[in-house]
């Protein structure tokens, strides 16, 4: 039932009313709770019997890693604000302390459900398929013998237990590392009778180990590293008894702070900050459920945490490590069917051979790519041809996330070595990819490329490649603009759009953006692109209000957005105003959404849905009906304050009518029809799963695979 009061009561309906105050706190949902709700929808995939079994386990692991990042960044940030006494409120007008209380209750419920799904649903289902995570009490004699050998040969030499006494203080605990606290009885060789010890599991050791076939003749048998160590812990303390053995895991603040205006070399400053990330302020303690109260109290005191920060778990203290089981089990029938990404028709030659001269193809017309249903390889091939073509003079590119072994970085290096002018804007502050980006920046510099780190105070999140090629007496510019990162692995897991074009006006705009990133000067007026922090938010607001004017004049009007997050107050207020005017609005929002749909008198024409399926929904698409002349933009930016005001982002128009129609159908129409993986946001902030009802089942991702993938046995469902 709705928790929002109507703007006017029935009795007041005929009386003139004051304009609605669209800044009212009750018109906004809490962003952090909204993000936890997204994790609950991901966890629902782990419960769904229609999802292949090993993929269900993967979704469980994803919820665990998502929750790690949530605590490392969002909870950590709120705790910092609370510690400093800051009264910084969110769009829903809650203080950090109030938000933390909401998070604590919701997160504890989520963790309990995670372990219930593991123990009551997934492990029994896996065992039925002869995939076992075997507890010590179920080991056979042969398995016990193997475990002992493995402990003595592979594990024990790397362990360094620390007895706690005045000469051995509590060790520093790495962020998210596996640790054990032990209670002991007896005296050692020096007559010491310390009752406590701490043991840290080396990160080099796998947390889930597959037993060899000779001791696991049926199916796949796995054992946890923690159980191997627990079983032979007394070997580490000769002459003493281990009375208690309790795994624990500490999550720390992982945000990095570098005062960019006070450092001379951002790369060196980031390198220095990386090492401190492992020992940031403590924010969460995970302990085994059987850990006694006195042990928990000791750990809480050691880490200066509250009881609300403790999460007692019925299983491994890090569920994401169970992903290793998926990687080691070759059971195709328990995973999503494989597929081969397709290629746009423009890139397939008459003989069936793919991707000839891409510059010739792009000159004939723009090329739209929709990953992962279509291949990411044309982007790599575009760079390959640019790096090898003697007519190509210069390449400029933005890199946010690329992966450790990136073919794109190698091609940029080759281009620089061949003497081309290569300029790369590397975002060193891409969260949790800082170390990889520092490494690739160094490699590029060593090859002779110009490497810059963007603009102080603004993350460079735009996805741009710009190639200058001499053709006769003129220079022609070729570009790739995208909604996703230049990362081959995530291009198989995330849905995104990319555009290959040589449109002169877009080229001029892209050139201006790169000049901003690498040089100094005022911002020119862009002709085609919208760019944050300058024209993107104003451009979107202008178009939202234009739809209001169209609707009031009786012309066709509609707004449809597909994004990852909607949290910006100014944009939400504009959407509320459009809804009050009667403009139909459909929002497809993967994660955080602070907008409340369906509020009487405020957002009655707004519908919000979230799609959670095989692939992570990642593109940002902005559609405006515009009086019957639709405008469509694809973008790197979400409707969030950081994207619109504190990042350098680009939204690019899809100008070709056929490609524009493709984006409308593939990014919007398909997803608004989805009744299998779709969740509908209610005005009280809850999500309900779409009901197939009398309609034919329809999965947007399944339909796109069938339509765009060149091979595979993927059905609509």
Three-state SS letters, 226-260: HHHHHHCHHHHCCCCEEEEEEEEEEEECCCCCCCH
Q: Is 336 labelled a binding residue?
A: no
Contact present, 226 and 278 (Cβ < 8 Å): no
Residue 360, burial from CB neighbour count under 10 angstroms (0-12, 13-18, 19+)? exposed
- Cα 334 to its chain centre, rounded Å, is 24
DSSP letter (8 states) at residue 669 = I
Q: Which residue out of 220, 370, 461, 551 is catalytically annotated?
A: 461
Four-point Cα dihedral 7, 12, 16, 20, nearest 10:
-10
Length of the chain: 717
Partners of 465 in the β-ladder:
397, 480
Contact present, 563 and 588 (Cβ < 8 Å): yes
DSSP letter (8 states) at residue 583 = -
Three-state SS letters, 113-142: HHHHHHHHHHHHHHHHCCEEECCHHHCCHH
DSSP letter (8 states) at residue 366 = -
Alpha-carbon distance of 240 to 246, in angstroms, equals: 17
Task: Indicate the SS3 state at residue 573.
Answer: helix
Q: Is 609 labelled a binding residue?
A: no
Contact present, 648 and 462 (Cβ < 8 Å): yes
Alpha-carbon distance of 44 to 48, in angstroms, equals: 6
Q: Is 590 labelled a binding residue?
A: yes
- Whether 461 is catalytic is yes
Alpha-carbon distance of 686 to 681, in angstroms, equals: 6
Which residues are within 8 A (CB) of 200 and not within 5 positions of it... i.e. 6 or more apart? 160, 162, 171, 173, 174, 177, 178, 179, 180
Residue with tokens 């009280």: 684
Q: Is 618 labelled a binding residue?
A: yes
The kind and range of the H/E element at 300 are helix 293-303
Q: Is 560 labelled a binding residue?
A: no
Annotated catalytic sites, by residue?
461
**Positions at the binding site for ATP:** 66, 494, 590, 618
**Positions at the binding site for Mg(2+):** 401, 431
């Amino acid at each position: 039932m709705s928790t929002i009061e109507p703007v006017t009561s029935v009795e007041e309906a005929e009386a003139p009313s004051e304009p609605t105050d669209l800044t009212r706190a009750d018109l906004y949902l809490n962003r952090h709770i909204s993000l936890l709700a997204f994790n609950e929808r991901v966890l629902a995939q782990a419960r769904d019997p229609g999802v292949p079994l090993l993929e269900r386990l993967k979704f469980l692991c994803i919820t665990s890693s998502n929750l790690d990042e949530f605590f490392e960044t969002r909870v950590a940030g709120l705790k910092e604000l609370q510690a400093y006494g800051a009264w910084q409120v969110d769009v829903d007008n809650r203080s950090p302390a109030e938000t933390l209380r909401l998070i604590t209750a919701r997160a504890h419920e989520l963790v309990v459900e995670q372990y219930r799904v593991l123990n009551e649903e997934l492990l029994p289902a896996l065992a039925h398929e002869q995939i076992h995570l075997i507890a010590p009490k179920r080991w056979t004699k042969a398995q016990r013998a193997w475990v002992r050998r493995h402990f003595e040969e592979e594990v024990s030499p790397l362990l360094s237990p620390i007895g706690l006494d005045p000469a051995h203080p509590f060790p520093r605990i790495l962020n998210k590392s596996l640790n054990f606290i032990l209670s002991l009885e007896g005296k050692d060789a020096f007559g010491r009778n310390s009752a406590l010890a701490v043991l840290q599991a080396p990160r080099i050791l796998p947390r889930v180990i597959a037993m060899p076939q000779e001791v696991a003749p049926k199916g796949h048998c796995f054992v946890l590293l923690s159980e191997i160590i627990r079983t032979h812990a007394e070997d580490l303390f000769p002459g003493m008894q281990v009375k208690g053995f309790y795994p624990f895991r500490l999550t720390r603040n992982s945000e990095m702070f570098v005062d960019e205006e006070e450092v001379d070399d951002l790369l060196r400053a980031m390198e220095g900050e990386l090492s401190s990330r492992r020992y940031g302020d403590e924010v969460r303690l995970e302990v085994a459920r059987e850990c006694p109260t006195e042990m928990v109290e000791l750990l809480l005191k050691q880490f200066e945490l509250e009881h609300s920060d403790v999460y007692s778990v019925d299983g491994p203290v890090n569920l994401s490590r169970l992903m290793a089981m998926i990687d080691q089990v070759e059971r195709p029938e328990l995973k999503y069917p494989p597929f081969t990404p397709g290629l746009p028709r423009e890139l397939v030659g008459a003989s069936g051979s793919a991707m000839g001269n891409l510059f010739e193809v792009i000159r004939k017309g723009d090329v739209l790519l929709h990953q992962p249903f279509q291949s990411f390889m044309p982007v790599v091939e575009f760079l390959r041809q640019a790096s090898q073509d003697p007519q190509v003079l210069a390449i400029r590119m933005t890199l946010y996330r690329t992966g450790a072994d990136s073919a794109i970085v190698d091609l940029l290096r080759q281009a620089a070595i061949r003497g081309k002018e290569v300029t790369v804007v590397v975002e060193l502050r891409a969260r949790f990819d800082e170390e990889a980006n520092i490494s690739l920046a160094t490699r590029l510099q060593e090859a002779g490329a110009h490497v810059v780190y963007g603009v102080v105070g603004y993350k460079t999140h735009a996805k741009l490649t710009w190639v200058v090629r001499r053709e006769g007496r003129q220079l022609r510019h070729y570009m790739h603009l995208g909604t996703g990162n230049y990362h081959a692995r995530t291009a198989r897991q995330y849905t995104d759009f990319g555009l290959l074009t040589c449109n002169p006006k877009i080229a001029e705009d892209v050139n201006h953006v790169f000049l901003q990133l690498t040089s100094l000067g005022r911002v020119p007026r862009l002709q085609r692109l919208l760019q944050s922090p300058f024209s993107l938010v104003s451009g979107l607001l202008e178009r939202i209000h234009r739809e209001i004017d169209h609707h009031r004049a009786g012309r066709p009007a509609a707004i449809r957005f597909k994004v990852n997050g909607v949290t910006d107050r100014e944009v939400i207020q504009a959407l509320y105003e459009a809804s009050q005017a009667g403009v139909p609005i459909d929002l497809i929002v993967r994660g955080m959404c602070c907008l409340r749909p369906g509020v009487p008198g405020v957002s009655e024409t707004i519908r919000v849905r979230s799609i959670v399926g095989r692939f992570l929904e990642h593109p940002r698409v902005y559609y405006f009906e515009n009086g019957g002349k639709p405008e469509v933009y694809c973008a790197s930016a979400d409707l969030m304050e950081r994207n619109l005001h504190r990042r350098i982002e680009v939204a690019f128009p899809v100008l070709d009518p056929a490609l524009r129609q493709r984006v409308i159908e593939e990014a919007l129409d398909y997803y608004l029809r989805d009744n299998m993986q779709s969740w509908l946001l209610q005005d009280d902030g809850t999500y309900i799963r779409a009901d197939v009802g009398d309609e034919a089942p329809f999965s947007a991702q399944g339909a796109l695979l069938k339509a765009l993938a060149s091979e595979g046995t993927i059905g609509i469902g």
